[in-house]
Amino acid sequence: MSCISEIQLQEYLEGNVQSLEKVIIEEHLKTCSNCKSELLALKLLLWELNEIKKAKPEIPAEVSKVRGRVLNELFEGNQDTLELAEILHLQRNNFANASTFVKFIPGVKTGQHYLKQGLNRAPSAAFSLSGSILKSGFKMLQARLST
Amino acid sequence: MPVQVIEGKIIKQCKQNDRDGYNALFKKYEGYIYTICYHYTNSKEDALDLVQEVFIRIYRGMAKFEEGKPLQPWIKRITVNTCLNYVRSNKIATVSLNQSANQEGNVIENMVADSADVEKTVILAQTRSVLDETIATLPPEMKLAVILRHIDGMSYEEIGNAMSAPIGTVKNYLYRGRSILKAKLQQYGVWEV
């Protein structure tokens, strides 16, 4: 009789063989030391696996921390449910941060300051200056059109 | 209160996007999910990462879950899929595993013999840790099938359902997985057979 395949031995151990097949396998095992030691190795493997099953791993405290973190993320810090006001606030901050460098350009700050001062002191001067610029521009246009 | 009634209540709460509902659901199954993930990764940190991923997938999938159906098989399926999608941080190990999956026993043995690291750990290790290490090196599907069958005690049908695979395929994974485990344990000489 030829030796039993490993797949058959595994099925035998799992109790998945028909009664006739079972008898044949058991008869063969009585005489074949190779198959017997194969079966023993498989039995030991199943026994070892069963030992793992019995010794359940300790559930670490971190698991409940993970649960808390996930729940917080899902129900509080969800990016998709940001209020419009929060988005605008964020954007304003972004613009403010992005334009910080302007404050450090030499002359910008003092220039702005003097311009404001000048306008406050002589608003009429600025007004008449802009008016005269407009007038001269208008005249130039007229002259060009007439030629 | 019967288990089904409590579960139904929890599912209803979850469907209404209630935080307490999810808290109860996660709390109920976190031990189970962690155990599967721990055996699959053989690492506490990786298992915790996977638990987090499973929680998020449960939350995202809740809308599609049909009320009245048992919760456990669904959670098992999500856990199994999350494990199968998990990429080990140690990529070199993953490559060698995939190769071993397609080779015959002799070649696997040669490959194992080449791996100095494993050999070093084996010399001093107990059978249990050798077995843990060896399970960790199995290709993903075989590893899960072995864990679900022998550590979780699931039937072939349940495994097929969780892994979305026919029973024949499950049997094949189990046969090949056990075969590799046996060959490696014999090679390391942990049994005086």
Query: Does residue A69 fall inside a structural domain?
Result: no
Facing residue for A71 by CB, picked from B19, B127, B185:
B19
Residues of chain B with pLDDT under 50: 89-106, 109, 113, 121-124
Q: Is B136 on the interface with A (CB under 8 A)?
A: no
**High-pLDDT (> 70) share of chain A, %:** 90
| Closest CA–CA distance from residue B53 to any residue of chain A (Å) | 9
What is the Cα–Cα distance from B135 to B104, expressed in whole angstroms? 17
Q: Mutating which of B52, B135, B152, B180 best tests the A interface, going by the most A Cβ atoms within 10 A?
A: B52
Facing residue for A45 by CB, picked from B39, B48, B178:
B178
Q: Mutating which of A36, A43, A49 best tests the B interface, going by the most B Cβ atoms within 10 A?
A: A49
The CATH code of the domain at B91-188 is 1.10.10.10
What is the Cα–Cα distance from B21 to B65, expressed in whole angstroms? 14
Name the average pLDDT for chain B. Answer: 81
> Quick check: B138 and B180 in contact, CB under 8 A?
yes
What is the Cα–Cα distance from B54 to B63, expressed in whole angstroms? 15
Query: Minimum mean pLDDT among A115-124, A138-147, B135-144: which range?
Result: A115-124
What is the Cα–Cα distance from B28 to B20, expressed in whole angstroms? 12
Token pair for B17: 């996007």
Rounded to the nearest 10 degrees, how much is the dihedral formed by the CA atoms of A67, A71, A73, A78?
160
Residue type, B150: H
pLDDT given at position B136: 87
Query: Does residue A18 fall inside a structural domain?
Result: yes
3-state secondary structure of B1: coil
* Rounded mean pLDDT, A119-146: 80
pLDDT given at position A127: 73
Helix (H) or strand (E) run with residue B40 in it: helix B19-41
Cα A142–chain centre separation:
64
What is the Cα–Cα distance from B130 to B166, expressed in whole angstroms? 30
pLDDT given at position B100: 45
pLDDT tens sequence across A53-85? 888 888 899 999 999 999 998 887 655 555 677
Question: The complex's ipTM?
Answer: 0.71
What's the farthest any 2 CA atoms get from each other in chain B?
58
* Rounded mean pLDDT, A109-127: 76
Facing residue for A48 by CB, picked from B31, B127, B179:
B127
What is the Cα–Cα distance from B179 to B100, expressed in whole angstroms? 12
pLDDT above 60 (res A104): yes
Query: Minimum mean pLDDT among A20-29, A99-108, B113-122: which range?
Result: B113-122
What is the Cα–Cα distance from B98 to B59, expressed in whole angstroms? 32
Token pair for A63: 């698991």
**High-pLDDT (> 90) share of chain A, %:** 30
- Here the contacts of B99-108 (C-beta below 8 Å, separation 24 or greater) are B100/B137, B100/B139, B100/B180, B101/B139, B101/B142, B101/B176, B105/B179, B105/B180, B105/B183, B108/B180, B108/B183, B108/B184
CB contact under 8 A, A57 and B193: no
| C-alpha dihedral sign at B124, B128, B129, B130 | positive
pLDDT given at position B96: 43
Domains of chain B: which residue ranges? 3-85, 91-188
CB contact under 8 A, B131 and A46: no
Number of domains in chain A: 2
Facing residue for A45 by CB, picked from B55, B132, B181:
B181
pLDDT given at position A140: 87
Taking contacts as CB-CB distances below 8 angstroms, the residues of chain B near A64 are 27, 30
Token pair for A29: 């095992």
3-state secondary structure of B110: helix
Which among B125, B129, B148 has a CA at the least distance from the CA of B77?
B148
CB contact under 8 A, B175 and A10: yes
pLDDT given at position B159: 94
pLDDT given at position B53: 94
| Closest CA–CA distance from residue A77 to any residue of chain B (Å) | 13
pLDDT above 80 (res A9): yes
What is the Cα–Cα distance from A136 to A21, expressed in whole angstroms? 114
Q: Residue A113 is part of which domain span?
A: 109-147
CA atoms within 13 A on the CB side of A98: 6
Which residue carries 């929060």 as its tokens?
A86
Q: Is B38 on the interface with A (CB under 8 A)?
A: yes
Q: Is A45 on the interface with B (CB under 8 A)?
A: yes
Q: Is B60 on the interface with A (CB under 8 A)?
A: no
CB contact under 8 A, A70 and B182: no
Q: Is A41 on the interface with B (CB under 8 A)?
A: yes
pLDDT tens sequence across B105-132? 445 545 554 555 555 544 445 677 788 8
pLDDT given at position B92: 38
pLDDT given at position B95: 42
The CATH code of the domain at B3-85 is 1.10.1740.10
What's the farthest any 2 CA atoms get from each other in chain A?
125
3-state secondary structure of B180: helix
Taking contacts as CB-CB distances below 8 angstroms, the residues of chain B near A40 are 193
What is the Cα–Cα distance from B147 to B39, expressed in whole angstroms? 7
Name the average pLDDT for chain A. Answer: 84
Token pair for B97: 């595993």
